[in-house]
Amino acid sequence: MSSNPNWHIDRVLDRPGPFTDEAFVGGQTARDFLQNECKILVIGAGGLGCEILANLSKMGFRDIHVIDMDTIDISNLNRQFLFRDADVGKPKATVAAEFIMRRCPEVKVTPYYGKIQDKDEAYYKQFNIIICGLDSIPARRWINATLVQMVDEDDPESLKPMIDGGTEGFRGQARVILPTINACYECSLDMHTPPTAFPICTIASTPRLPEHCIEWASVIEWPRVFGDKKLDNDDPDHIQWLYEQASERANKYKIEGVTWQSTQGVVKRIIPAIASTNAIIAAACCNEAFKLATTSAPSLDNYMMFTGNVGIYTHTFSLDRKPDCPVCGSETLESDVNGDWTLQEFIDSLIERPDTQVKKPSLLIGTRKLYFQAPPQFEKQTRPNLSKKISELCQAGDTITIQDSAYPFAIYVKVNFS
């Protein structure tokens, strides 16, 4: 074997392959770009992000940035292999960057401990490729919308490829998003499996599973005891209280299996992470980054699904853009509305709608405010509209502007009365 630590990269870049892009320029030119010019951003330094960072550092990428807003918890150590016991409580991005640079001195990793929303377009424009190793749909939606909005037809450098990886137990997916060219993340939003919901009558009267007891503690017992006090899923004291209540109820109904970890998992909708799935999806994401950076092979077109729960099986397909996508589409969304609905019922329909999935929308027509979530004085001023019929507030064919924290820009919905 060669003493050159990059011999495996050189073998790929020194000669074209059977599927190499016509634009491929191998040899030293490709190596120089990969090692000295290409700047790559990794969003997320958790189970998937640790694998991605390790892979990139051994694939020739020398200028890597990483963003993560979390600190290390002891429960992370079984699969997030860049962290050790002494790192508990420290920022994931900082510790991961330091670990990679200790192991690979030729690689520079720049960490940022904070939210992706803290950064502006100028920050994201500096990168050649962005890889997402996130466990949050809202965060994916935000960065996807930001990258789509950044695209300027007169500036080819404004298009930043986004590689998105995600895992769910033994299943996972990797996809390549070329903003405004192929399907964006929002185009596939309605493909996501909705979170498991338990019938309220079951959790209230006839619990049969430990999950029923935990859900009862969080949905029924917490509001009864604490009223309007918000349950904080990240507060260990809150989780402890739920665990104690759920355990007491489980004992009453002779149900086994309520633990502190399961309580946290149910409340936060946590699906157990599998280290091998993270490794497979991270490898797929980094493979796509390498292909995009070097043109040594065609990139994924554009979605790969891994279903490890039924064997080692992958399926690749091309996901089409949606003309009415609120992010990359050119058409205004339409909504068929019962004229007798109140504005609150209309807002509820937007929240439930699979192709918008807004959380706390503010609505206006032109400059006229229908309802604003914030600031408090606007919320108080527009709150009476919630109980009014929507037919009193707008006319058929009106376009309502919707602003929501999930989007870094507004979306537009044309109202049709049915």
- Which residue type, as a one-letter code, is found at position 47? G
Helix axes 236-252, 260-267, angle to 10 degrees: 110
- In angstroms, rounded to a whole number, what is the distance separating the alpha carbons of residues 176 and 318? 10
H or E element: which one contains 413? strand 411-417
Question: What SS3 string covers 250-304?
Answer: HHHCCCCCCCHHHHHHHHCCCCCCCHHHHHHHHHHHHHHHHHHHHCCCCCCCCEE
Pick the closest to residue 355 from 333, 338, 337 (CA basis).
333
- Cα–Cα distance, 133 to 156 (Å, whole number): 25
Instruction: Give the CB-side neighbour count of residue 129, counting CA atoms within 13 A.
Output: 24
Rounded to whole angstroms, the Cα distance separating 312 from 87 reads 34
- What do you get for the CA distance between the two ends of the chain, in Å? 72
Q: Out of 201, 213, 285, 325, pick the active-site residue.
A: 201
- Rounded CA separation 248/229 (Å): 22
Q: Give the angle 208-264-406 at the CA atoms, nearest 5°.
A: 110
* Omega of the bond leading into 55 within 30 degrees of 0 (cis): no
Q: Smallest Cα–Cα separation from 192: which of 279, 274, 305?
A: 305
Q: 10 Å Cβ neighbour count for 160?
A: 22
187 is catalytic: no
Positions marked catalytic = 201
